[in-house]
């Protein structure tokens, strides 16, 4: 499996965990940072998949 798929998957999981309100990045008490980090990771995964789609 390519790195893009893994990044997209982990990003979606991080977004879902942050939106549940039960999880946060260690050292913070706000799940908004986890949602933002998950969004960046998912966007990176989409970019990687888009870049490698022609190969």
H/E run at residue 1 = none
Q: Where are the domains of the chain?
A: 3-51
Nearest-5° Cα angle at 18, 35 to 22 = 160
Cα–Cα distance measured from residue 22 to residue 31, given in angstroms and rounded to the nearest whole number = 8
pLDDT band at residue 53 under the 50/70/90 scheme: confident
- pLDDT of res. 7: 97
pTM: 0.88
- Give the C-alpha separation, 46 to 31, whole Å: 23
| Average per-residue pLDDT for the chain | 94
């Amino acid at each position: 499996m390519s790195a893009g798929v893994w990044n997209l998957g982990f990003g979606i999981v991080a977004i879902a965990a942050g939106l549940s309100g039960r999880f946060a990045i260690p050292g913070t008490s706000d799940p908004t940072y986890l949602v933002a980090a998950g969004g960046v990771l998912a966007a990176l995964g989409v970019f990687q998949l888009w870049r490698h789609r022609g190969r």
